[in-house]
Amino acid sequence: MAAHSARPRLTVLSGPSGVGKSTVVAHMRKEHPEVWLSVSATTRRPRPGERDGVHYFFVDDGEFDKLIANGELLEWAEFAGNRYGTPREAVMDRLDAGEPVLLEIDLQGARQIRESMPEAQLVFLAPPSWEELVRRLTGRGTEAPEVIERRLEAARTELAAESEFDTTLVNTSVEDVANELLALM
Ligand SMILES: Nc1ncnc2c1ncn2[C@@H]1O[C@H](COP(=O)(O)OP(=O)(O)OP(=O)(O)O)[C@@H](O)[C@H]1O
Ligand SMILES: Nc1nc2c(ncn2[C@@H]2O[C@H](COP(=O)(O)O)[C@@H](O)[C@H]2O)c(=O)[nH]1
């Protein structure tokens, strides 16, 4: 009989901007605070209410360059004009300690994780429809119209890559999807 790996799972949650990834993860963590989510570094400016070290580590371009040069990022990507990356050490520490890890990252990052950690499970969060995705992204009210356009352009590519993922969850109900994601982890 094949032995099961003792290593806990790394789960990657991806999906187009505005589909509801952060909302689903926040809901899940409210019910299950023990679920550990990696905090990414980004060159994007904070949105109102976002806190450094909680939602992201907000860094400037020079600091991001250093993170790359020092090999401190497990993966990184440029998305809609800003850079985002997963700090390597915190993720590896968690996995080495036997704890599951959740990353909420874009398609480019998910592909990098697939390459470097093939045992990771990749979960795609899909919108109920294109119209609903546009409604959510626009309705969030956090981006200027030209940024929304860039994100929707990226969304077409991301939606076309759904088959690269191990599992698709359709975000119709935040509560249902949060439960499904928890079960997968
Ligand atoms: N199931 C749902 N039904 C209706 N609205 C939803 C649902 N899930 C999320 N939303 C809303 O959609 C908007 C976008 O959600 P959220 O910010 O979580 O998306 P995201 O995928 O994390 O986006 P990004 O990748 O840009 O960070 C928010 O206003 C959120 O309240
Ligand atoms: N490749 C990575 N993508 C990331 C990371 N952290 C977040 N993201 C993704 O970026 C977009 C935009 O996020 P927003 O907060 O500006 O709306 C979204 O798809 C995130 O999932 C990361 O470390 N690496």
For residue 29 and ligand 2, the question of a CB distance below 6 A is answered with: no
Atom of ligand 1 nearest to the CA of 173: 1
- How far away, in angstroms, is 120 Cα from ligand 2 center? 18
Write out the binding residues for ATP.
Answer: 15-22
Specify the residue with its C-alpha closest to ligand 2, atom 5: 105
Query: How many other C-beta atoms lie within 10 A of the C-beta of residue 72?
Result: 15
- How far away, in angstroms, is 68 Cα from ligand 1 center? 29
Specify the residue with its C-alpha closest to ligand 1, atom 24: 17
Specify the residue with its C-alpha closest to ligand 1, atom 13: 136
Write out the binding residues.
Answer: 15-22
Residues 6+ apart with CB under 8 A from 96: none
Atom of ligand 2 nearest to the CA of 13: 21
For residue 86 and ligand 2, the question of a CB distance below 6 A is answered with: yes
Per-residue pLDDT of the chain (185 residues; tens, 9 = 90+): 334 454 458 999 999 999 999 999 999 999 899 899 999 999 999 999 999 999 999 999 999 999 999 999 999 999 999 999 999 999 999 999 889 999 999 999 999 999 999 999 999 999 999 999 999 999 998 999 999 999 999 999 999 999 999 999 999 999 999 999 999 98
Phi and psi dihedrals of 123, rounded to 5? -115, 130
- How far away, in angstroms, is 9 Cα from ligand 1 center? 25
Residues 6+ apart with CB under 8 A from 135: none
Exposure string (b/e) for 26-41, b if CB count within 10 Å is 16 or more? ebbbeeeeebbebbbb
- The pTM assigned to this predicted structure is 0.95
